[in-house]
Amino acid sequence: MTYPDPTLFGHDPWWLILAKALGVFVFLLLTVLAAILIERKILGRMQLRLGPNRVGPFGLLQSLADGVKLALKEGLIPAGVDKWIYLAAPVISVIPAFMAFAVIPMGGEVSVFGHRTALQLTDLPMAVLYILAVTSIGVYGIVLAGWASGSVYPLLGGLRSSAQVVSYEIAMALSFAAVFIYSGTMSTSGIVAAQTDTWYIFLLLPSFLVYLTAMVGETNRAPFDLPEAEGELVGGFHTEYSSLKFAMFMLAEYVNMTTVSALATTLFLGGWQAPWPISIWEGANSGWWPLLWFTAKVWVFLFIFMWLRATLPRMRYDQFMALGWKILIPVSLGWIMIVATTHTLRNYGYQGWATGLMSAGAVVVIALLLIAWRALRARNIRNTPAPPPTVDVGAFPVPPIPKKERADA
C-alpha cells in the first residue's frame, strides 16, 4: 500500500498539474453524463417502464443528445430580470462544484512518465474545511438566480435553498468533527491513511447516518428538493432559465452529487482503499487499482441518490427544517461529546471503558429520540381540532344538515 507523501503536493511539473486538473474535469463530466442516463434507466425499472432506449444502442447516447438539444435551444432572457446577475448565477453554481473536487484523493502514488505523483490534485492541512467553504459558495448561484429572475416563485425557491443549506451544513460539519477527532487531521489524504485498519463507517456510524441525510439535503435532491418543487413553485429557482443556462444548473447539481459522494467515500469508507475481501490481495491498493475502488464506492452513493428519488415523496417544508434543527443537530452534538470522551479514555488506556461508554451513549441517544418523537406526536394529536359532531342516520354517519331559513312569501 502506497500512501501519498505530503511533500509531493505542490512540486509536480506544470504539465502534470495541468493533466491532473484536466483529468478531474473529464472524470466529473463523464460521471455526470453517465449518471443522468443511469438515473433515468433506474427510475424506469423501478416504475415498471423502459426508460431511454431510442438514441443510440440501448439508449446510451441519450445524455449526449440532451446536451446537444439544450445547447441548440434559444436562450431567452425574460423582461424585468437583473441581466448581469441573471447570467452570472449559473456560472457561480458550476465553478465551486468543480473546485471542491481538487482535494479529493482518488488513489495513492503512481508513476506518470517517470514522475511520482499522487492521484489527487492537491491537499491541504484543512482540506475538508476547504470543501465546506467552496460548496457553500455554490448556494449563492441559486439565491442570486431566484432574486435576479424578477419572479415570485424563483425568489421563494432561492430563499428555501439558502435556509436549507444553512440548516444542513451545520449538521454536516458536526458529523465531520467526529472524524477529525479519531483521525487527528483535517487532511483528506491523512483521513484515508487513518482508516487502514478500520473504516469509520463502523466506528462512527451515527456520524455517517447524519452525513448521509445532510448530503441529500445539501444537494437539493429528492425527497429534499424543495427549492425546485414543481407542484408548489413551478420549477423553483431556475423557472426563468432555458438553454445552456438551465443545463449549467443541472450540471452543478450532478457534480455536487459526485463531490459529496466522494467526500463520504473519503471520510467513512476508507477512500480509495480496496474493500474486503479484495484487500487481501497485496496489489489491491497499489498502482491504478485504487481508482477503480474509489469510483465504485462513489457510484454506490450515487445509486442511493437515485433510489431515494424513485422511492420517497417530497417532504413538507416544516418537516424538513424540523428534521435538521430538532434531530440532526442535537444528535450530532451529543454524539461528538461521546466520541471525544471515549477517544480521550482510549488514549489513557481505558479500552473497556471507552467501548462501554460508547454503547451506553448510543442507547441514550436512541432513547431520547424516541421520547422526543412520542412527545411531538402527542402534541400534534392534542392540537388537532375535534371533528364536527355527526348525526347517525342508519348505518352511515352523515354531517349535520345546516338549517335553511324560510323565505317570506
pLDDT digits (tens, 9 = 90+) for 108-158: 888 888 888 888 988 888 899 999 889 888 888 888 888 888 888 888 888
Which cell numbers hold the place of 182? 479519531
Say yes or no: 91 and 229 in one domain.
yes
Q: Is residue 59 assigned to a domain?
A: no
Say yes or no: 239 and 328 in one domain.
no
Q: How far apart are CA 95 and CA 137, in angstroms?
A: 9
Q: Is residue 97 assigned to a domain?
A: yes
Say yes or no: 146 and 219 in one domain.
yes
pLDDT for 299 equals 96
Could you give the angle at which helices 152-183 and 127-148 cross, rounded to 10 degrees? 180
Say yes or no: 241 and 208 in one domain.
yes
Please provide residue 230's backbone torsions phi and psi, each rounded to the nearest 5 degrees. -65, -35
pLDDT for 405 equals 56
Q: How far apart are CA 119 and CA 111, in angstroms?
A: 10
Say yes or no: 363 and 237 in one domain.
no
Say yes or no: 96 and 167 in one domain.
yes
Q: Is residue 386 assigned to a domain?
A: no
- 353 forms beta bridges with none
pLDDT digits (tens, 9 = 90+) for 276-287: 888 888 888 888
Cis omega (within 30 of 0) for bond into 277: yes
The pTM assigned to this predicted structure is 0.84
Pick from 231, 244, 205: nearest CA to 317: 231
Name the domain boundary from 257, 290, 315.
315
Q: Is residue 27 assigned to a domain?
A: no
Say yes or no: 226 and 334 in one domain.
no
pLDDT for 372 equals 61
pLDDT for 322 equals 86
Q: Is residue 18 assigned to a domain?
A: no
Its domain, for residue 333, covers 317-381
Say yes or no: 199 and 341 in one domain.
no
Q: How many domains does the chain have?
A: 2
Judge contact between 314 and 226, C-beta under 8 A.
Answer: yes
Q: Give the strand pairing for 115-118 and 109-112.
A: antiparallel
Q: How far apart are the first and last CA of the chain?
A: 100
Tens digit of pLDDT at every position of the chain (409 positions): 556 656 667 778 889 989 999 999 999 999 999 999 999 999 999 988 888 988 889 889 998 899 898 888 888 888 888 888 998 999 999 999 899 999 999 988 888 888 888 889 888 888 999 998 898 888 888 888 888 888 888 888 888 888 888 888 888 999 999 899 888 899 999 999 999 888 988 888 888 989 999 999 888 888 888 877 777 777 788 888 888 888 998 899 899 999 999 999 999 999 899 998 888 888 888 888 999 999 999 999 999 999 999 888 888 888 888 888 888 888 888 888 888 888 887 777 776 655 565 565 566 567 666 766 665 666 555 555 655 555 555 555 556 666 655 555 4
pLDDT for 103 equals 93
pLDDT for 381 equals 55
pLDDT for 258 equals 95
106 exposure class (CB count in 10 Å sphere: 0-12, 13-18, 19+): buried
Q: Is residue 85 assigned to a domain?
A: yes
Say yes or no: 350 and 310 in one domain.
no
Q: Is residue 52 assigned to a domain?
A: no
Say yes or no: 179 and 168 in one domain.
yes
Q: Is residue 393 assigned to a domain?
A: no
Say yes or no: 345 and 304 in one domain.
no
Name the domain boundary from 259, 287, 315.
315
Q: How far apart are CA 164 and CA 225, in angstroms?
A: 10
Say yes or no: 158 and 250 in one domain.
yes
Q: How far apart are CA 365 and CA 380, in angstroms?
A: 23
pLDDT for 332 equals 87
